[in-house]
A and B are shown apart, each in its own frame.
Chain A
Amino acid sequence: MAMDKKIFTTPILKSNPITVLVLGICSSLAVTVKLEPALVMAVSVTIVTGLSSFLISLIRKTIPNRIRIIVQLVVVAMFVILIQQILKAYAYDVSKQLSVYVGLIITNCIIMGRIEAFGLNEKPLPSLVDGLANGLGYGLILVIVAFIRELFGSGTLLGIQVIPQSFYEAGYMNNGLFIMPPMALILIGCFIWIQRIFQKEESK
């Protein structure tokens, strides 16, 4: 059990897929303008990473090595289609906001990376845990970035106004730059900076 716990906690903080391994930045930064799509994205990625890692691990002994990438892509694509159809049915507005980025979960490097590095060699259950934990670690960063961007960029959280009206009357303005794409990159850069500073202290 102790080992399982380690598999679960390391990806969330110590080897976070975004800030340490630099995987899966691709499809995700664009959904962090608002908190709501970021949350949905985080949950979807967690589910897809966990389940596809689990499934690949189940059939790992029967996959020929040469065509394994195509097999993996097909498995991942299947889960993503399921997610997309569910979103379309139950959360249509959010699925419109996420537009092509739901589809891009397929090429999210976290999923492929975890399958290659973990799912192909390990037993199904640890693979499931590893996939879920990596998805969560990824979602954590996504949600933090979205939180900052929505708070400073639009003054709202989940669409509810947080910054009191009196602030605006006193001359406070929303920072438009936070809504623009560059700010997400700079924010992630700062996260990496902060995390590296702390990790250095740990190793000392």
Chain B
Amino acid sequence: METISLFVKSVFVDNMIFAYFLGMCSFLAVSKNVKTSAGLGIAVIFVLGITLPINYLLNKYILTPGALIWLSPSLADIDLSFLSFIIFIAVIASFTQLVEMIVEKFSPSLYSSLGIFLPLIAVNCAILGASLFMQEKAFATLGEATVYGLGSGFGWFIAIVSIAAIREKITYSNVPKALQGLGITFIISGLMAIAFMSFMGIKF
């Protein structure tokens, strides 16, 4: 039950975009039509679901104060937490590069539909943000961290697909000239964020 609650919470209540503004750049840039945004959304779920457990293990066994104790007791008071940014970002960047190469090799069709988004993901704030939140929330088990990663990815997916659907429709509406495009997108996402606020307090 805890796990489901955590999943629902990370999808709706702590939605990466509407509650923390993470991954806004690609959210605004790639949300022009539903199909490409769904592709990017899936890529984000995928990368989050894999990098988060990796970063969790790195954090637990290398970065937190005294974490190196499993190597030798004399390392007990070493605190490497200041290195966490650089390690997390290195994991994310190298992982996206790796995934890109694997996908390119084994599934060229998936690569052509997804490939362009993979390098973009390395600088998607949602990925690094999830790792940093994971570090701050101090999850107890690897499972929880994975669920959190998948949940936030899924929340991001929902957000980008729904805004893309709205933007597709809004091209037919009569929006004031100066507000067209970017301006109205911001305001819509603001309104959507208000809608998502109604999920606050959901518990299972």
Residues in A lying within 8 Å of B, measured CB to CB: 19, 22-30, 69-70, 73-74, 77-78, 80-81, 84-85, 99-100, 103-104, 106-109, 112, 180-186, 188-190, 192-193, 196-197, 200
Can you offer 16 A-B residue contacts whose CB atoms are under 8 A?
A: A22-B28, A25-B28, A27-B125, A69-B93, A70-B90, A77-B86, A100-B135, A180-B193, A181-B21, A185-B21, A186-B187, A186-B190, A189-B186, A193-B178, A196-B177, A196-B183
Q: Is there an interface contact between A107 and B190, defined as CB atoms closer than 8 Å?
A: no
* CB of A157 to closest CB in B, whole Å: 23
Output the nearest chain B residue to A85 by Cβ-Cβ distance: B82
Closest 3 CB pairs of A and B: A189-B186, A185-B190, A26-B125
**Given A30-B21, A84-B85, A181-B21, A192 and B132 contact (CB-CB distance below 8 Å):** no
Contact of B20 with A by CB under 8 A:
yes
Interface residues of B in 176-190 (CB under 8 A from A): 176-179, 182-187, 189-190
Q: In the complex, which residues of chain A have a beta carbon less than 8 angstroms from the beta carbon of B97?
A: 69-70
Q: Is there an interface contact between B89 and A77, defined as CB atoms closer than 8 Å?
A: yes
Q: In the complex, which residues of chain A have a beta carbon less than 8 angstroms from the beta carbon of B132?
A: 100, 103-104
Contact of B18 with A by CB under 8 A:
yes
Count how many chain B residues have C-beta atoms less than 8 Å from C-beta atoms of the other chain: 50
Q: In the complex, which residues of chain B have a beta carbon less than 8 angstroms from the beta carbon of A200?
A: 177-178
Q: How many A-B residue pairs have CB under 8 A?
A: 140
Q: In the complex, which residues of chain B have a beta carbon less than 8 angstroms from the beta carbon of A188?
A: 186
Q: Which one of B94, B128, B135, B178 lies within 8 Å of A104 (CB-CB)?
A: B128
Identify whether the interface residues of B are mostly helix, strand, loop, or mixed: helix
* CB of B65 to closest CB in A, whole Å: 14
Q: Is there an interface contact between A107 and B21, defined as CB atoms closer than 8 Å?
A: no
Q: Is there an interface contact between B25 and A23, defined as CB atoms closer than 8 Å?
A: yes
**Given A25-B24, A25-B28, A193-B178, A182 and B124 contact (CB-CB distance below 8 Å):** no
Residues in B lying within 8 Å of A, measured CB to CB: 18-25, 28-29, 82-86, 88-90, 93-94, 97, 119, 122-129, 132-133, 135-136, 176-179, 182-187, 189-191, 193-194, 197
**Given A70-B90, A77-B89, A100-B132, A28 and B82 contact (CB-CB distance below 8 Å):** no
Q: In the complex, which residues of chain A have a beta carbon less than 8 angstroms from the beta carbon of B125?
A: 26-27, 104, 107-108
Q: Which one of B19, B24, B90, B184 lies within 8 Å of A73 (CB-CB)?
A: B90
Q: In the complex, which residues of chain B have a beta carbon less than 8 angstroms from the beta carbon of A108?
A: 125
Output the nearest chain A residue to B28 by Cβ-Cβ distance: A22
Q: Is there an interface contact between B85 and A109, defined as CB atoms closer than 8 Å?
A: no
Q: Is there an interface contact between B190 and A99, defined as CB atoms closer than 8 Å?
A: no
* CB of B174 to closest CB in A, whole Å: 15
**Given A73-B90, A81-B82, A107-B124, A185 and B119 contact (CB-CB distance below 8 Å):** no
Q: Once the chains are docked, how many angstroms separate the CA of A25 from the CA of B93?
A: 20
Output the nearest chain A residue to B126 by Cβ-Cβ distance: A26
Q: Which one of A23, A29, A74 lies within 8 Å of B21 (CB-CB)?
A: A29
Q: Once the chains are docked, how many angstroms separate the CA of A192 from the CA of B185?
A: 11
Q: In the complex, which residues of chain B have a beta carbon less than 8 angstroms from the beta carbon of A81?
A: 82-83, 85-86
Output the nearest chain A residue to B20 by Cβ-Cβ distance: A30
* CB of A55 to closest CB in B, whole Å: 15
Q: Is there an interface contact between A26 and B85, defined as CB atoms closer than 8 Å?
A: no
**Given A77-B86, A100-B132, A182-B191, A22 and B25 contact (CB-CB distance below 8 Å):** yes
Known: A26-B21, A73-B93. 11 other contacts (CB 8 A): A26-B25, A26-B125, A29-B24, A74-B89, A77-B86, A81-B86, A107-B127, A180-B197, A184-B190, A185-B190, A193-B178
Output the nearest chain B residue to A182 by Cβ-Cβ distance: B193
Q: Is there an interface contact between B129 and A69, defined as CB atoms closer than 8 Å?
A: no
Q: In the complex, which residues of chain B have a beta carbon less than 8 angstroms from the beta carbon of A100?
A: 129, 132-133, 135-136
Q: In the complex, which residues of chain B have a beta carbon less than 8 angstroms from the beta carbon of A23?
A: 25
